[in-house]
Structure 1
Amino acid sequence: MSQLRIGDIAKGSGLSVETIRYYERRGLITPLGRLPSGYRCYDAHTLERLHFIVRCKSLGFSLDEIQELLLLDPNAESAQVKQKVDLRIQQIEDKISQLRELQHSLHQLSDLCSGEGPVSDCPIIDTLKH
């Protein structure tokens, strides 16, 4: 089995050494041990795990949620994974709804002002004050 140093893992995963150390402190990855030089050593499985973490983060999963996915029993029902993904979808849909409401409110504010005249007469400022 090939042993990889933390710099190799960082390069292969696109993550910084500091991020990898942080993931190690969080228990998301575990080094195999240390080389005689004192460097942490990892294997290809660690690199695969980091790729998994990066993909999960790109989908908006938190590190706690990722840890839960990593800790799932491989023999458990896949419904557990689907449930976590469906929950994430609902969270995103809720956020989109909130952002649409915010967008609507900002459009209403923008429509109040022609963009001409001094700030002291701006109806947006007046509305925000009251």
Structure 2
Amino acid sequence: MNKFTIGELAKETNVNVATVRYYEKKGLIAKPARTDSGYRIFSKDSIRDIHMIKYAQSLGFTLEEIKTILLMYKSDDDLPTEDMYYHAVTKLHEIDKQLMTLKNLKSLLENVVAISDAKQPTPKEQCPLMQNLEESREQIGEKNRSFHSGYSLMRGTCSASKRDCLR
């Protein structure tokens, strides 16, 4: 089959119909032809595009980045080396930041696990997770009030035992 309704396309690509409409609205997939009665009729290219979008998302690309990648992919021109270099360097910096954040989180959780074997409750002040949240809260200051209210709710849940630190 070479032509697909929006429902068929959604089913074929394992996304919601609303997702297909969103991708169309954002220019990630081509505007489809319409039947006389107004139904969208998508081509096989839309299936390929949605699969590429979902794969690129799984790699951590944003929809804006994916749109740029798709435009370059569909272009008849050679890939612009300077643009590709810029995008690659930018993404590498983002990945490095994410890796640093994950390493910090891993270290923090390892500290929590290390003290979680004791049978006695841990004071909030000695819980590595609570210490980290407190330091973060102090760094953020009064800029983000929603963080403070969420922090206040979380803070009250860490006094029962060391294992409860993560709840």
Normalised by the length of structure 1, the TM-score is 0.77
Partner of 2:42: 42
Identify which of 92, 111, 134 aligns with 1:108: 111
Aligned equivalents of 2:97 and 2:32: distance in 1? 41
Deviation at 1:106, TM superposition (A): 3.2
Identity of aligned residues (%): 28
- Match in the other structure for 1:96: 99
> Is 1:33 aligned with 2:33?
yes
1:77 corresponding residue in structure 2: 79
Structure 1's unaligned 5+ residue stretches are: none
Superposition RMSD in Å: 2.6
Change beyond 3 A, Cα 1:38–1:87: same
Counterpart of 2:60 in structure 1 is 60
Does the residue aligned with 1:31 lie in a helix, a strand or coil? coil
Runs of 4 or more consecutive aligned structure 1 residues displaced over 4 Å after TM superposition: none
**What is the rounded CA distance, in whole Å, between the counterparts of 1:113 and 1:126 in structure 2?**
15
Structure 1 contact 33–40 (Cα < 8 Å) conserved: yes
Q: How many aligned positions are there?
A: 126
TM-score (norm 2): 0.62
Q: Which amino acid aligns with 1:42?
A: F
Q: What letter matches 2:87 in structure 1?
A: K
- 1:49 deviates by 1.4
Q: Report what 1:7 is aligned to.
A: 7
Q: Secondary structure at the match of 2:41?
A: strand
Which letter does structure 1 place at the counterpart of 2:103? R
Structure 2 unaligned runs (5+)? 135-167
